[in-house]
A and B are shown apart, each in its own frame.
Chain A
Amino acid sequence: MENLVLQALSGLASASSLFLVASGLTVIFGVSRVVNFAHGSFYMLGAYLAYTLVTQLPRGHLGFWGGVVGAALLVGLIGLAVEVLLLRRIYRAPELFQLLATFGVVLIVQELTQMVWGAQDLLGPRAPGLRGSTEILGLRFPLYELFLIGVGPVVLGLLLLLFHRTRWGTLVRAATQDREMVGALGVNQRMLFTSIFFLGSLLAGLGGALQLPRESVNLHMDLSIITEAFVVVVVGGLGSLTGAALAALLIGEMHAFGILIAPKITLVLVFLVMALVLVVRPHGLLGKPEAAARGGQGSAEPMIGPAPGPLRWLALTALGLAVVVPPFLGDYALSVLTELATAVLFAASLHLIMGPGGMASFGHAAYFGLGAYGAALAAQWLGAPMLVGLALAPLAAGVFGLVFGYFCVRLSGVYAAMLTLAFAQIAWSVAFQWVEVTGGDNGILGVWPDAWAAPKLVFYYLALALCLGATLLLRRVVHAPFGYALRAQRDSALRAEAIGINAFRIRWLGFALAAAAAGIAGGLFAYGKGSVFPTFMGIPRSVDALLMVLLGGVQTLSGPIIGALAFTGLQEQLVRLTDLWRLILGAVIVALVLFFPQGLAGAARARWEARHGDA
């Protein structure tokens, strides 16, 4: 019994820390509608800056607490700078493009942090006056944890006062609903947005700085906290402070008791909760349906036509090169090319969901990974030959696409995207924690092609043929009646329903089809590498796919192909050439978002149309 109480208390302490970060994220989203991936980076910076300040300042209360507050303020200023220099320019861009830009910031901050503070974990000093522990029900409990438990409610109270009792807060709440109208009433939205970014980033920084006495400061803090913070924000309802507090409480206690009750599924638990909440309450615990965001919406999606002549020639030339040149290449180049082929199909499959489908997926790697695991498990446990494995890959991915998609495509916008992420994380945690079957972190090794396809060149041609075939098939689907229906429901679900299109079923089938195609890519990738690992389904791979599609351009059919080639090629070269690849990749992403907001293929088309008139 006493143990349970202590466990509950430590859950409260985690909830408190989680709330600090999530509150900043939800406040920023509420007003600016920016899904700020860099929020986790601000949290990490808060911890690092606090480390430096606290260790440099004189010891004692002033040094410690001054350091913590100073770090929070500095992070607030950094967030302000990011808003002014980057985000302010892209508020009119589609949501996912903003996400891409903030992901560029994540990469840049990671690299810079490593350059300044080094790769090793740092241990900060403990908080003066809160070093010891106290006795609760006869058991010892750290004082600092007790202090943290108090911080959350205090911050929540202050924020509620700020939003409900000040003019600034009233303006912010009004802007959350209708920013254009607030502008028409004479309010400078830019100042409002910049100040909200300052506040939100400051909260992230404070959350990070307060972790200093609790855990070591390291370079993985950013991505681990951002997923949790997203979960909290989405479960609570986007933009709702009280919702975020409730959700933080739920998730914090879940962590605390999950370890006691079901130690085998701790990783999956949080995402199971998120999936459950979203299935039952599509807008989170206290969220409201997303009002059709007013103001700053782009023009209608451009139409998709058949490829113009020169593009066909370009494609045919590229294909010719892809067929003719490889016999003269070495094994390394061949595996790079094989990987490129799977990347193209992976990106093209996500594009079907995002472009014509109009849905966002943050968890597309799940289907890539399910394809890979489908093939590998068949090889491992059934001794299936490669062709059977390759046939099982899209089947496994497609079936899970049907199951997961059934829930995901009912939601819209960020909620839908977060539910795809939740399912992907569930799949990932199963692969990671079900060691007896999947080998856990060690993966499944020895997934090699059959003898006839063992030479790298043969396997490359096989991969090229399958990926190209599937990509062309997806392209064909977009131009088929099914594709018309898919695009129709994207442009207006209501009107599509009115002419007899079952929008839900179309979206659902589109989602499953894309999943199956990603499965093919995953299966080929597994045989190409000879092994599968849980990372195949990890968040970074989902982000890779997003990057490819967005880099190429969402609303062109050649976009994902060009994006996949550009991204994979760039990453490959950068990793080989320089240690600073994350910095450069991040900078390239930010530059692309700023200068090619329609993606590479979109920009090329805009130039083409400008020169040749409208086709």
Chain B
Amino acid sequence: MLQVAGLSAYYGRAHILDDVALDVGGGEVVVLLGRNGAGKSTTMKAIMGLVPPSAGNVRFAGAEIGGREPFEIARLGLGYVPEERRIFTGLSVMENLEVGRRPATAGLRPWTPERLFALFPSLGAMRDRPGGRMSGGEQQMLTIARTLMGNPRLILLDEPSEGLAPVVIERMAEAIRALKAEGLSILLSEQNLHFAQLVSDRATIIEKGRIRWSGSIAELLAADEVREQYLSV
């Protein structure tokens, strides 16, 4: 579904991503693990075309998307859920969903607000509330719901557990598993290994902009020295 190879990116002169490679298969959940500042968010932004990659290839659903504009990439069925949520605070819940709305994608059940409210029940109770007057957890659900309105085949989910209460994290994990059951592919970025292992099939570890390790979640849980080296704080 998504193949990234040799991806490099710079902020000014600082080399942020160096030869990043990863892939996500159809219906698979892959987690990109790493500490703060390791390059997780930049990897996602580079895939989405929000940070111009200086080198490398990004293939999505058989098409090369490197160098395309974000809106074109989104229209191919790649959804992006940013870490900072970036809810439109002046718009209501329904209006936020409206901004994300795109035509249905062949082979996937189209998303409607009603279906999304079934997935995130708390959103259904606040359809007309402005995005700026919602809690962090509610905003996180709204930002995922907004992206789903575009009927993507794959979503880039940047640190969805960040700053959420443990109860909310549990619910988030359930939602992600439900999305996987729908046939959606997900590239997740996380620092929270506990959350990652609840939902992911495979893991890729990034550190200082380079991929250091890749394998299944079971392998990662068995490899104490890898977790020690790249993930412990």
Task: Name A residues whose Cβ lies closer than 8 Å to a Cβ of B.
Answer: 167, 170-171, 173-174, 176-178, 180-189, 294-295, 299-300
8 Å CB contacts to A: which residues of B69-126? 69-71, 74-75, 80, 82, 86, 88-91, 95-96, 98-102
The residue that A188 contacts in the complex, of B12, B48, B71, B101, with Cβ under 8 A, is B71
CA distance A182 to B87 in the complex (A): 10
Is B150 in contact with A178, judged by CB distance below 8 angstroms?
no
CA distance A185 to B11 in the complex (A): 23
Residue of chain B at shortest CB distance from A171: B99
Q: Tell me whether B202 is interfacial, beta carbon within 8 Å.
A: no
Is A177 in contact with B147, judged by CB distance below 8 angstroms?
no
Q: Which 4 A-B pairs have the closest CB atoms?
A: A186-B74, A183-B70, A174-B99, A174-B88
For A182, the chain B residues whose CB sits under 8 A away are: 99
A-B pairs with beta carbons under 8 A, tally: 63
For B101, the chain A residues whose CB sits under 8 A away are: 167
Residue of chain B at shortest CB distance from A187: B71
Task: Name B residues whose Cβ lies closer than 8 Å to a Cβ of A.
Answer: 11-12, 48, 50, 69-71, 74-75, 80, 82, 86, 88-91, 95-96, 98-102, 146-147, 150
Is B98 in contact with A178, judged by CB distance below 8 angstroms?
no
Is B91 in contact with A186, judged by CB distance below 8 angstroms?
no
CA distance A295 to B48 in the complex (A): 14
CA distance A187 to B146 in the complex (A): 13
> With contacts A184-B48, A184-B74, A186-B102 known, what are 14 further pairs, Cβ within 8 A?
A167-B98, A171-B99, A173-B88, A173-B95, A178-B88, A180-B50, A184-B50, A185-B74, A185-B99, A185-B100, A186-B71, A188-B71, A294-B86, A299-B12
Is B90 in contact with A173, judged by CB distance below 8 angstroms?
yes
A164 to chain B, nearest CB (A): 9
Is B86 in contact with A181, judged by CB distance below 8 angstroms?
yes
Is A177 in contact with B88, judged by CB distance below 8 angstroms?
yes
For A295, the chain B residues whose CB sits under 8 A away are: 50
Subset of 6 A-B contacts with CB under 8 Å? A167-B101, A173-B95, A184-B82, A185-B146, A187-B71, A189-B71
B44 to chain A, nearest CB (A): 10
CA distance A187 to B90 in the complex (A): 18
For A184, the chain B residues whose CB sits under 8 A away are: 48, 50, 70-71, 74, 80, 82
Is B91 in contact with A300, judged by CB distance below 8 angstroms?
no
B66 to chain A, nearest CB (A): 16
CA distance A94 to B80 in the complex (A): 27
Is B71 in contact with A178, judged by CB distance below 8 angstroms?
no
Is A183 in contact with B69, judged by CB distance below 8 angstroms?
yes
CA distance A445 to B126 in the complex (A): 70
For A170, the chain B residues whose CB sits under 8 A away are: 91, 95, 98-99
For A174, the chain B residues whose CB sits under 8 A away are: 88, 91, 95-96, 99
CA distance A340 to B96 in the complex (A): 55
For B147, the chain A residues whose CB sits under 8 A away are: 185
For A181, the chain B residues whose CB sits under 8 A away are: 82, 86, 88
For B75, the chain A residues whose CB sits under 8 A away are: 186
CA distance A173 to B98 in the complex (A): 12
Residue of chain A at shortest CB distance from B95: A170
Is B95 in contact with A185, judged by CB distance below 8 angstroms?
no
Is B89 in contact with A177, judged by CB distance below 8 angstroms?
yes
For A300, the chain B residues whose CB sits under 8 A away are: 12
CA distance A434 to B194 in the complex (A): 75
Is B86 in contact with A178, judged by CB distance below 8 angstroms?
yes
For A177, the chain B residues whose CB sits under 8 A away are: 88-91
For B70, the chain A residues whose CB sits under 8 A away are: 180, 183-184
